[in-house]
Structure 1
Amino acid sequence: MNAPDSLLAFLKPEPVVYKSDSYMKLIARRFVRHKMAVAGLVVFALLILIGIFAPWIAPHDPNIIGNAFSAAPSAAHLLGTDQVGRDVLSRLIYATRVSLTVGVVTVAIYMAVGIIIGAIAGYVGGWVDMVINRIIDVFMSFPSLMVILVLVTVLGTGLSNIIIVLALLGWPAVARLVRGSVLSLRQTEFVKAGVALGLNTPRLIFGHILPNAMGPILVNATFGAAAAILSESSLSFLGMGVQPPTASWGNMLNAAQSITALQSQPWLWIPPGVIIVISVLSINFIGDGIRDAMDPKKINA
């Protein structure tokens, strides 16, 4: 390279290319900084694996009645047995399937319904928005626990009926949340640009508006899953949820509500009670982490 070329290279250096993180990488990095959220995610993932691999993890069949009734924890039964000789640890493991199924499936159903209805109400507006809002007001005006008890009594107990009832009462809050987000985003410049470009309504809503409103929706979903698990446990504890011999954390507590069990057989009620607390706390911590990670005020921190 001669002198003029070297001087030209000095005067015009190679452009520096800065690699900017994508939005999802930024969210993930902020989520990882939330230690309790990461711990909650690990615990929740572990619970999911326990539910999936329950037949291989459980030391005994959860419904087999043995000869040791209300036996204390031992090498043969690590968490003891219940009043009819069934292994408590095995029933606790299989009950994880029931509670997580209720939490995940219920939230998936009512989030899908609530997002669609709320997006239509917020984007279309007018009399459609008014009618949907009045329907939401009607659903949210009833005391939820009373309605759940009545509907479960009418439809019958069982896992599928519990999911249907909880989903039926869960979508209005999501619809109202989504409606508010869509109303605020509908007037933004990128939406107006999409309209000017001739994009159809479904593409505008689901391709451009909703992705920018996912923060509060995801947080609502996590807290909703925790609430669904608590609701199922409460119904099962009251004898109106999952029925024996199918194991659930709630009906395990129901079977241990006698004075004798509370005073002298703690292995019957402490394990299901602790696992309910752990699962709900882990999901709530995940929701806290998602909320902080997607907070626009902290997104550049």
Structure 2
Amino acid sequence: MSSPNLNLDKHNQVISSNLLIQADVLGQEESYMKVIVTRFLKHKLAVVGLVTFILIVLMALFAPIIAPHDPYEIGYEFEAKPSMEHPLGTDQIGRDVLSRLIYASRISLAVGIGAVTIYVIIGTILGAIAGYMGKWADMIIMRITDVFMSFPFLMVILVLVSVMGPNLFNIILVLGFLGWPPVARLVRGSVLSLKEMDYIKAGVALGYTAPRILVHHILPNALAPILVNATFGIAFAIITEASLSFLGMGVQPPTASWGNMLTEAQSLTVLAQQPWLWIPPGLFIILAVISINFMGDGLRDAVDPKSFK
């Protein structure tokens, strides 16, 4: 029979080994994150995109302070040209274009971030379940994913928004609940690869539950590709919202969005003689989308394991 002291010594050795392993893992994760940040900062276009996007976010957050006028205030000068009082002129009913442009950034960012948050959560959960559970769960989830991906995306959005009503909340919901399939497939592939790693098999042997293994050990290692997908998704959501608003199925006036400000460009008179009504919102859409795409490119290069030496 083994003595109690011997069993206690073995128990202490196991605890000490586990602590050393955890410390080593934490040190590797910290070093990995440091390398990612360093590599991202070396990507000049990504840094420019990050700075530009931060400026747009700050403009949206401090819109009441930055905007020179109330975006809904109707002035006495209709279709006024740019001046000191109205740097970007006024629209057809006398509202300050610059103020509406600044407030419109809130709508576009809300759609982009809100929709991406919803579909990343849905896609991550479904993809993790499909990849880890396998068998019938994987088959059912992937067949549902294939069905969703077979739909014509913009057509379904137009139908759903027209049925539910064109407003900010419904647009975020529709984009969020239709955008999850690519994330689910991405997460599923990562989970299928990661669950074959030795440390995951060790966790299973130690009796860890599936949720604990997924949340604490698998998903943190699959986070990088999810973040890359999310950055590009924000840009796509902003473009989609602008397209819907341009078609009259997005955010409705008097609420300003970059898309419904561009609806003025449908008139040839405005297009040719009043560029201050459509060039600024068009430029801001381009700036926002390009900056996010640059960030996504930099993040993708930073987390690419093939590029590590």
Q: Same fold (TM over 0.5)?
A: yes
Separation in structure 2 between the aligned mates of residue 62 and residue 254 of structure 1, nearest angstrom: 17
Q: Does 1:246 align with 2:274?
A: no
CA distance in 2, matches of 1:80, 1:164: 34
How many pairs does the alignment contain?
282
Matched, 1:91 2:100: yes
- Note the 1:1-16 alignment, pairs <5 A: none
Name the structure 1 match of 2:48.
39
Q: In structure 2, what is the Cα distance between the partners aligned to 1:72 and 1:45?
A: 30
What is the deviation of 1:256? 3.1
1:74 pairs with one of 53, 61, 83: 83
Tell me if 1:172 matches 2:181: yes
1:99-248 to 2 correspondences below 5 Å: 99-248=108-257
Q: Kindly, what percent of the aligned residue pairs are identical? A: 67
Instruction: Give the alignment's TM-score, normalised by structure 1.
Output: 0.92
- TM-score of the pair, normalised by structure 2: 0.90
- 1:216 Cα deviation after fit: 1.4
Find out whether 1:58 has 2:86 as its counterpart: no
Instruction: Looking at secondary structure, tell me which structure has more helix per residue.
Output: 2
- Aligned mates of 2:207, 2:54 — CA distance in 1: 43
One-letter amino acid of the counterpart of residue 43, structure 1? T
Counterpart pick for 2:31 among 14, 22, 40: 22
| Pairwise CA RMSD | 1.1
Provide structure 1 residue ranges, at least 5 long, that are not aligned to the other structure. 1-18
Gaps of 5+ in 2: 1-26
Paired AA for residue 247 in structure 1? A
State how far apart, in whole Å, the 1-side matches of 2:196 and 2:116 are: 29
- Aligned AA for 1:216? P
Q: What is the identity, as a one-letter code, of the residue corresponding to 2:116?
A: V
- Give, in angstroms, the shift of residue 26 of structure 1: 0.9
Cα offset for 1:255?
2.4
What displacement does 1:193 show?
1.2
Runs ≥4 in structure 1, deviation > 3 angstroms?
none
2:265 alignment partner in structure 1: 256
1:58-78, Cα deviation, whole Å (9 max, x unpaired)? 000001111111111000000
Shift of 1:202: 1.0
What do residues 202-233 of structure 1 show as CA deviations (whole Å, max 9, x unaligned)? 11111111111122111100000000000000
Letter in 1 for 2:62: F
